[in-house]
Amino acid sequence: MRGVGAVLRGAPRAATGLAVLGAALLVAPLLVDDYLLSVILITLYFAFVGQAWNLMMGYAGQLSLGHALYVGLGGYAAAAFFVHFGLTPWAGMVIGILVAAAFAAGIGLLAFRFGIGGVYFALLTIAVAEFTRILFEHFEWVGATGGFFLPVENREINDLLMLRGSPAMFYYVILAMTVGLFLANVALIRSRMGYYWMAIREDQDAAQALGINTFRYKMMAVVLSASLTALGGVFLAFYNNNLFPIDAFGIHRSIEIILAPIIGGLGTLFGPILGAFILTPLGEVLTWALDQLGVQMAGVKHLFYGLVLLVIIRSLPGGVWPWFARRLGIEGPEARP
């Protein structure tokens, strides 16, 4: 069994780096101010949803361009049950996941039963996300276009049960989620299902000839990825305390989710995390620098993201991680795009 542990033992520099990073992330709330903490927090959020998306695209090879759908569904479900019925988000989360999983299963059923692949599948995911956005813009129970707001009572007392509290609490929640998902992924992609996903990604006909029920495993990938993404959505809704259909389901949101894993490296364990840690802070630095210059321009950050995406896909289509891993002295599958 070649786990991450074994990979890292073969690369002491990487192991040291990871240990330092881990320690720094653990004590970060004590060291940095609220703004910087919020930047790291959002970075971790993108690392989380990026990992969730990567399971489906990077490992199972199914391109979803509508992943904001699941962020929105998870967030809206948990927030609505919290606001209307006082339900704890830990239970609301289950509802959110169920709703997202149902949508994902619907998309999967439509697409995979009829053999819709590639571009068509991607378009179907966008279409369903947009369809849902417009639906929510007319969904009065959750505020329609006016937005849906969670009451902000205190930021001092941490109430983990109701997920109300200080930025530091949210920070530790998302840190735990991101690390937890990473560890789960390590186990997942070295499991039978992980290998089956990669087989499907590489060649569906060959996969099926080896006894893999490709329909079932693609469905599992879509539903699992959607459920995890919905979990991220619950976190985001409770952290932001507001939800707007355009910001929850909009296509620009879906694109934000997929940037980090593509830039970091599709189908790698570290790629989505590395991508998030490159992209989000750079975007923030850019906005901050322009702010300092007295320039406030909408679109600069995303223009920059677009440029990075263009450069990466042209010259490093496997992403930054495989290249970085080789420099760290990591060999083998984790260093392969």
Query: Given the rule CB under 8 A, which residues bind another protein?
Result: 1, 57, 63, 65, 110-111, 114-116, 118-120, 122-124, 126-128, 130-131, 134-135, 137-138, 190-192, 195-196, 198-199, 201-203, 205-214, 251-252, 255, 262, 267, 297-300, 302-303, 305-307, 309-310, 313-314, 317, 332-333, 336-337
The sign of the CA dihedral 46, 48, 49, 52 is positive
How far from each other are the two terminal CA atoms of the chain, in whole angstroms?
A: 20
Smallest distance, another protein to C-beta of residue 97, A: 23
Work out how close the CB of 245 gets to another protein at its nearest, in angstroms, rounded to a whole number.
11
Shortest distance (Å) from residue 244 CB to another protein: 14
Residue 74 C-beta: closest distance to another protein, Å: 21
Which residue lies nearer to another protein by CB, 24 or 187? 187
Tokens of 43: 């970075």
**Which of residues 1 and 30 has its CB atom nearest to another protein in the complex?**
1
Distance CA 159, CA 233 (A): 19
Closest CB to another protein among residues 51, 254: 254
How far lies 228's CA from each of 51, 90, 96, 205, in Å? Answer: 9, 14, 10, 28
Cβ-based nearer residue to another protein, 178 or 254: 254
Report the residue number, 31 or 298, with the smaller CB distance to another protein. Answer: 298
Nearer to another protein, 88 or 208 (CB): 208
Distance CA 211, CA 200 (A): 11
Of 221 and 234, nearer to another protein (C-beta) is 221
Shorter beta-carbon distance to another protein: residue 164 or 253: 253
CB within 8 Å of 110: residues ≥ 6 apart: 116, 124
Helix (H, G, I), strand (E, B) or coil at 171: helix
Smallest CA-to-CA distance from 104 within 83, 132, 79 is with 132
Give me the residue label for tokens 């990026």.
50
For 190-207, give the DSSP string: TSHHHHHHHHHHH-HHHH
Instruction: Choose between 63 and 282: whose C-beta lies nearer to another protein.
Output: 63
Least separation in angstroms between residue 336's CB and another protein is 6
- H/E element holding 149? strand 148-149
Q: Which of 86, 90, 124 is nearest to 106 (CA)?
A: 124
Query: Containing H/E element for 234?
Result: helix 214-240
Least separation in angstroms between CB 267 and another protein:
8
CB of 118 to another protein, least distance (A): 5
Closest approach of another protein to the CB of residue 29, in Å: 33
**Least distance in Å: CB of 295 to another protein?**
10
SS3 state at 157: coil
In the three-class reduction of DSSP (H, G, I as helix; E, B as strand; rest coil), residue 325 is classed as helix
Asked if 248 contacts 68 with a C-beta cutoff of 8 angstroms, the reply is yes
Whole-angstrom Cα distance, residue 272 to residue 260? 5
